[in-house]
Amino acid sequence: MVGLQTGKSTADRRLPSLDELRRLIETAGGEVVDTVVQKRAQRDPATLIGRGKAEEIAGLARQKTLDAVIFDDDLTPAQQRNLQEIIPAKVLDRTRLILDIFAQRARTREGKLQVELAQLDYLLPRITEKFGRFEQQTGGARGGIGTRGPGERKLEVDQRHIRERIRRIKREIEHVRLQRDLQRQNRRRIPLPQVALVGYTNVGKSTLLNFLTRSDGIYADDKLFATLDPTARRVKLPGGRAALFVDTVGFIQKLPHHLVAAFHATLEELNNADLLVCVVDAADPAWTAHLRVVQEVVKSLRADHLPQIVVFNKADLLKNTDRAARQREGRLLLSAVTGEGMDAFLSAVESRLDRPLLEKEFVLPYRRRDLLSVIYHTGRILSETPAVRGTRLRVRIDAQNWGHIQKELRPDAKPARTAS
């Protein structure tokens, strides 16, 4: 691993982001053999770390027969090319490493397309003429139009193929996005409040959703970026109302903006949420920095206007002193492994979702009993008493669903054949 520390102070040569880089390397299946931190007043435009330090790393690579040298900062195409000429090992940067992990983790068609798009956008400016010329056939008995002259170099052929592939992938992603919009429109017919789980990578969002749904249908692992694709599951709240919980991709430090852009179709689920649940790893000493990263990414996606609650997962790993400190701070502690704090968590979610709800009282006719299950799923029934022509209900429900109920209760509305 290679880290760069810029600035005038030389007191602290430790880079917290290198701890995360180590975990990324281990997640990708690698093993860290050595770590080098270069202290400079500013970045070197040619090699990032300076030619002298690059030569030193080249010596380490020969001595320890390294497979790769991975930089914690992004390298420009020119820097990567210059370093590759000096260092006798594969030269990678943080973005390339993350893309490799993404390629391992993507499971859905949309996720795979987004990963490939990000990889090609990364690769395109880095193609060099290393492999020489790629001449087309010239002249001869089988010649003809388009076969004369030097033809395209291999560099130009590769770049053209990549650009064409990028255009095709963007069209496919747009098609997937349209399908996702149709799915959202179908959900809005009987809309459920949507709760998006956001947080730093490996804080336990997928494990939390598995616990809430009493299943293990969502892949969860103690690795960075274990989940890339958004997953939605219906969860019953304490008052009987249902909500749609959506698991999203985790964030990390130095997450490149073009990677966020590549996964915009996935992350746009945040903008459709009624509530954001920021999940924090309670046992991680760097949780404050991680929460700040999450808030910055949420702001970059223009979803910071949405209501939020912060929950501290992995409470089962807390020491007694840390637990007492979190409790004094009024933090909501829970454990997706033991189930600690789940009732309080769901009650907090329900309370935040209830704030914009309307309270309505009406008589549900006997002939429209088919609507009762819809009301149970989309609202919260406060009281239910018999009436002359049906059942008198007092409910808390959002304006959109109340409009749907009113429409169904009109005299000319026909009952559904089966209960919703």
Domain boundaries, the chain: 2-100, 108-133+149-191, 192-354, 358-408
Q: What's the whole-number mean pLDDT along residues 80-93?
A: 93
Q: What's the whole-number mean pLDDT along residues 65-88?
A: 92
Distances (CA, A) of 357 to 196, 350, 351, 383, 400: 19, 11, 10, 16, 10
Residue 410 scores a pLDDT above 70: yes
CA gap 268, 271 in Å, rounded: 5
Give yes or no for a contact between 67 and 89, defined as CB atoms under 8 angstroms apart. Answer: yes
Q: What's the whole-number mean pLDDT along residues 128-138?
A: 43
Q: Which of 89-93, 120-124, 155-159 has the lowest mean pLDDT?
A: 155-159
Expressed in angstroms, the distance from the first to the final Cα of the chain is 57
Q: Do domains 2-100 and 192-354 have the same CATH topology?
A: yes
Name the most confidently modeled range: 2-6, 225-229, 380-384: 2-6
CA gap 115, 271 in Å, rounded: 21
Helix boundaries (H) for 124-225: 154-189, 205-212
According to the model, what pLDDT value does residue 188 have? 59
Max CA-CA distance within the chain? 97
According to the model, what pLDDT value does residue 292 have? 87
**Could you tell me the strand order of the sheet in which 390-397 lies?**
358-365, 390-397, 379-386
Q: Bigger pLDDT: 49 or 357?
A: 49
Distances (CA, A) of 267 to 116, 221, 310, 346: 17, 21, 19, 23
Q: State the DSSP string of 282-332.
A: TT-TTHHHHHHHHHHHHHHTT-TTS-EEEEEE-GGG--HHHHHHHHHTT-E
The reply to whether CATH 3.40.50.1970 applies to domain 2-100 is no
Q: Bigger pLDDT: 222 or 392?
A: 392
Q: Average pLDDT of the chain? A: 80
According to the model, what pLDDT value does residue 413 have? 67
Residue 218 scores a pLDDT above 60: no
Pair of tokens at residue 241: 């109302």
Q: What's the whole-number mean pLDDT along residues 369-374?
A: 84
Give yes or no for a contact between 191 and 356, defined as CB atoms under 8 angstroms apart. Answer: no
32 Rama class: left (phi>0) / alpha (psi -120 to 50) / beta: beta
CA gap 5, 290 in Å, rounded: 20
Enter the pTM of the model. 0.67
According to the model, what pLDDT value does residue 35 have? 94
According to the model, what pLDDT value does residue 72 have? 92
Q: Which of 133-142, 226-235, 239-248, 312-321 has the lowest mean pLDDT?
A: 133-142
Q: Which helix (H) or strand (E) holds 264?
A: helix 264-267
Select from 3.40.50.800, 3.90.245.10, 3.40.50.880, 3.40.50.300 the CATH code of 192-354: 3.40.50.300
According to the model, what pLDDT value does residue 290 have? 87
